[in-house]
Amino acid sequence: MIVKGQIIAGIDFGEIQESLMRIKDDSVWLTIPSARIIDIVVNPSDTEIFLEDGSWSSAEQIAVKQKAIRIMRREAEEKQLIQQAEAKAVLLMRDFLLSTGFSFVEVKIK
Protein backbone atom coordinates (compact mmCIF):
# COMPACT_ATOMS: atom_id res chain seq x y z
CA MET A 1 0.00 0.00 0.00
CA ILE A 2 1.08 3.55 -0.71
CA VAL A 3 -0.29 5.84 1.97
CA LYS A 4 -0.20 9.58 1.42
CA GLY A 5 -0.95 12.08 4.12
CA GLN A 6 -0.73 15.64 5.28
CA ILE A 7 0.95 16.90 8.42
CA ILE A 8 -0.48 20.05 9.95
CA ALA A 9 1.86 21.85 12.33
CA GLY A 10 1.54 25.24 13.90
CA ILE A 11 0.85 27.41 16.88
CA ASP A 12 -2.51 27.95 18.52
CA PHE A 13 -2.55 31.72 18.86
CA GLY A 14 -5.55 31.33 21.16
CA GLU A 15 -3.07 30.09 23.77
CA ILE A 16 -1.19 33.42 23.85
CA GLN A 17 -1.23 34.71 27.40
CA GLU A 18 -1.61 38.40 28.12
CA SER A 19 1.00 38.03 30.86
CA LEU A 20 3.56 37.13 28.16
CA MET A 21 3.03 40.39 26.27
CA ARG A 22 4.52 43.73 27.24
CA ILE A 23 3.75 47.00 25.49
CA LYS A 24 5.58 50.24 26.09
CA ASP A 25 4.96 53.23 23.86
CA ASP A 26 5.50 51.98 20.29
CA SER A 27 7.32 48.79 21.31
CA VAL A 28 5.97 45.32 22.02
CA TRP A 29 7.57 42.17 23.41
CA LEU A 30 5.61 38.95 22.94
CA THR A 31 6.21 35.33 23.81
CA ILE A 32 4.11 32.85 21.85
CA PRO A 33 3.52 29.13 22.55
CA SER A 34 5.69 26.47 20.97
CA ALA A 35 4.55 24.90 17.73
CA ARG A 36 3.29 21.35 17.67
CA ILE A 37 1.93 18.82 15.25
CA ILE A 38 -1.77 19.57 15.27
CA ASP A 39 -2.89 16.70 13.08
CA ILE A 40 -1.74 14.04 10.67
CA VAL A 41 -4.40 13.38 8.07
CA VAL A 42 -4.50 10.18 6.05
CA ASN A 43 -7.48 10.06 3.71
CA PRO A 44 -8.62 6.69 2.38
CA SER A 45 -8.84 8.23 -1.09
CA ASP A 46 -5.09 9.01 -0.90
CA THR A 47 -4.20 5.36 -0.35
CA GLU A 48 -3.18 3.24 -3.31
CA ILE A 49 -2.57 -0.45 -3.67
CA PHE A 50 0.87 -0.82 -5.23
CA LEU A 51 0.87 -4.58 -5.53
CA GLU A 52 -2.36 -6.41 -5.07
CA ASP A 53 -1.67 -9.97 -4.04
CA GLY A 54 -4.38 -11.57 -1.97
CA SER A 55 -6.72 -9.49 0.11
CA TRP A 56 -6.27 -6.94 2.87
CA SER A 57 -8.47 -7.13 5.92
CA SER A 58 -9.74 -3.92 7.50
CA ALA A 59 -7.47 -4.52 10.49
CA GLU A 60 -4.44 -4.88 8.22
CA GLN A 61 -5.30 -1.70 6.33
CA ILE A 62 -5.70 0.20 9.61
CA ALA A 63 -2.37 -1.17 10.87
CA VAL A 64 -0.59 -0.01 7.70
CA LYS A 65 -2.14 3.46 7.97
CA GLN A 66 -1.16 3.72 11.65
CA LYS A 67 2.40 2.75 10.76
CA ALA A 68 2.39 5.36 7.99
CA ILE A 69 1.30 8.01 10.52
CA ARG A 70 4.17 7.03 12.84
CA ILE A 71 6.62 7.27 9.92
CA MET A 72 5.23 10.67 8.88
CA ARG A 73 5.59 11.96 12.46
CA ARG A 74 9.20 10.74 12.62
CA GLU A 75 10.01 12.30 9.24
CA ALA A 76 8.41 15.59 10.33
CA GLU A 77 10.72 15.59 13.35
CA GLU A 78 13.76 14.74 11.20
CA LYS A 79 12.91 17.56 8.78
CA GLN A 80 12.43 19.94 11.72
CA LEU A 81 8.86 20.79 10.76
CA ILE A 82 8.15 22.17 14.25
CA GLN A 83 11.10 24.55 14.08
CA GLN A 84 10.00 25.69 10.61
CA ALA A 85 6.47 26.33 11.88
CA GLU A 86 7.84 28.34 14.82
CA ALA A 87 10.09 30.44 12.59
CA LYS A 88 7.19 31.20 10.26
CA ALA A 89 4.87 32.04 13.17
CA VAL A 90 7.44 34.46 14.64
CA LEU A 91 7.78 36.24 11.29
CA LEU A 92 4.02 36.38 10.73
CA MET A 93 3.34 37.74 14.21
CA ARG A 94 6.19 40.25 13.95
CA ASP A 95 4.98 41.49 10.55
CA PHE A 96 1.40 41.70 11.82
CA LEU A 97 2.39 43.76 14.88
CA LEU A 98 4.59 46.04 12.78
CA SER A 99 1.68 46.61 10.40
CA THR A 100 -0.47 47.79 13.33
CA GLY A 101 1.91 50.66 14.04
CA PHE A 102 4.51 49.33 16.45
CA SER A 103 8.03 50.42 15.51
CA PHE A 104 9.81 47.78 17.60
CA VAL A 105 8.58 44.19 17.89
CA GLU A 106 10.26 41.25 19.57
CA VAL A 107 8.58 37.86 19.30
CA LYS A 108 9.97 34.81 21.09
CA ILE A 109 8.86 31.20 21.46
CA LYS A 110 7.86 30.00 24.93
For 18-32, how does the pLDDT look when each residue is reduced to its tens digit (9 = 90+)? 999 999 999 999 999
Q: Is residue 49 very low, low, confident or very high in pLDDT (cuts 50, 70, 90)?
A: confident
Q: Which of 72, 66, 88, 65 is nearest to 37 (CA)?
A: 72
Which range has the worst mean pLDDT, 10-14, 52-56, 82-86, 90-94? Answer: 52-56
pLDDT at 51 (0 to 100):
67
**Mean pLDDT for the chain overall:** 90
pLDDT at 26 (0 to 100):
97
What's the predicted TM-score (pTM) here? 0.76
* Residue 70 CA, distance from chain mean position: 15
Q: Is residue 45 very low, low, confident or very high in pLDDT (cuts 50, 70, 90)?
A: confident
Do the bridges between strand 47-48 and strand 2-3 make them parallel or antiparallel, or are there none, so unpaired? Answer: antiparallel
